[in-house]
Homo-oligomer: A and B are copies of this chain.
């Protein structure tokens, strides 16, 4: 008789000495994040040739109305600055993003989307939102709110949500 992957508590050992991977939240989050990423990648990768870091750069620039530095994007998306650097290089090569020197601080560049980048962004956003809603459609509106709230609490307790004050301290604005 085949055993199911997710079974009841295995017999023969006292509670606490075993761990059911399928009920272990860190494992579930990893697996779920990988699956959701994979489900969305068809939108930005296959259709527009973007990878995740590139999409994060566009998403950050698109949501803000003004230009910002690569470092800002690295901080607020929690992506390593070298990864963002490579993404920006690729986006500039495709003329989706442009950058101008900052007169006040010549170490950094101000990044902004080109018209071409904005056009791509405008076509991509509705598709991604639709996909997200499809994924969450198994939850009721109330469950979705609760889920988002729980995510927010965990993010907050892990220090993932940076406050305005924090942003100022780290210079990430």
Check A21 for interface membership: any CB of B closer than 8 A.
Answer: yes
List B contacts of A65 (CB < 8 A).
10-12
Contact (A16, B129) CB under 8 Å given A63-B10, A154-B136, A167-B4: yes
Copies in the complex: 2
Is A31 on the interface with B (CB-CB < 8 A)? yes
Docked pose: A59 CA to B76 CA in angstroms:
34
Q: Which of B17, B21, B37, B153 is close to A59, meaning CB atoms less than 8 Å apart?
A: B21
Quick one: given A40-B26, A151-B32, are A63 and B20 in contact (CB under 8 Å)?
A: yes
Q: What is the interface of chain A, defined by CB distance below 8 A to chain B?
A: 2-6, 10-12, 16-37, 39-40, 52, 56, 59-60, 62-65, 75-78, 122, 125-126, 128-129, 131-132, 135-139, 143, 146-148, 150-151, 153-158, 160-164, 167-168, 172-173
List the 8 closest pairs (A to B, CB-CB), nearest first.
A2-B173, A4-B164, A33-B33, A138-B157, A5-B76, A29-B33, A147-B150, A2-B168
What are 28 sample pairs from A and B whose C-beta atoms fall under 8 A apart? A5-B161, A18-B62, A18-B63, A18-B125, A19-B59, A20-B63, A21-B60, A21-B77, A23-B148, A24-B59, A25-B36, A25-B132, A25-B148, A26-B128, A26-B132, A27-B59, A28-B151, A28-B155, A30-B37, A31-B77, A32-B33, A32-B158, A32-B160, A33-B33, A135-B158, A138-B153, A143-B146, A146-B147
